Amino acid sequence: VDGSRAVNLSWGGSTDDIGVTSYDIYQEDSRIHSVPGTRTTAHLTGLRPGTVYTFTVRARDAADTSSPDSNAVDLTTASAPGAPAGTAPNDLRIGNRVQGKEYVIDLDWQQPETGGEIPSYQLFIGGRLTTTIVWGATPPKGRAHYRLTVTDPRGTRYSMKLRAKLPDGKWGDFSAQRTVVLGG
């Protein structure tokens, strides 16, 4: 992290039988930057202070074929002076297992420190609000868990992120985005 509005990324080089012509940097599921295939670093600017960003890198060859995503890296930019503490859920983990003809997806995350109870969360899948998670009793403390069942086929890919409803009624910052592949 380079202050509150920029990050420096670096990665190991990739090999390809045709030759790597560029590296594409993705923030969540959107390509935001490219560098020549001879470079394995990038300086990204224009970021928001106190925000969690998830980056992946893909190598691209002369035939315009891209590699699979690199491992995701989560970076949090520094807070702006006088800004409140971060409101994003942290350490989002997602797993899945088959159950009959369906898949069960389990989400687990560390709740943000807000000075009060978090009554609900919004779950976004593929960038769209999918459901609001409302606790049926007293909200949990520490780590929170949520389970959903889907009927999509093996290999279906989901990108998921959460945000908390803060004690003052406003929505907090998004967690880092995670991707899960059914049966993967």
The DSSP-derived string for 77-139 is PPPPTTPPPP-S-EEEEEEEEEETTEEEEEEEEEPP--SS---EEEEEETTEEEEEEE-SSSP
123 and 152 in a common domain: yes
Q: Is residue 171 part of a domain?
A: yes
Residue 97, domain member (yes or no): yes
Q: What is the pTM of this model?
A: 0.64
Domain of 66 in residue numbering reads as: 7-76
- Residue at 85 is within a domain: no
Q: In this structure, are residues 34 and 23 in contact, taking their beta carbons and an 8 Å threshold?
A: yes
Note whether 111 and 137 are same-domain residues.
Answer: yes
58, 69 Cβ separation under 8 angstroms:
yes
Number of domains in the chain: 2
Same domain? 69 vs 96 = no
81 domain-assigned? no
Residues 71 and 133 in one domain: no
Comparing C-alpha atoms, which of 127, 137, 126, 16 is closest to residue 65? 16
Residue 83 lies in a domain: no
Write the pLDDT tens digit of every residue in 65-90.
999 889 888 887 877 666 556 788 98
**pLDDT class of 169 with cuts at 50, 70, 90:** confident
* pLDDT tens, position by position, 44-58: 988 877 777 889 999
CATH number where 65 lies: 2.60.40.10
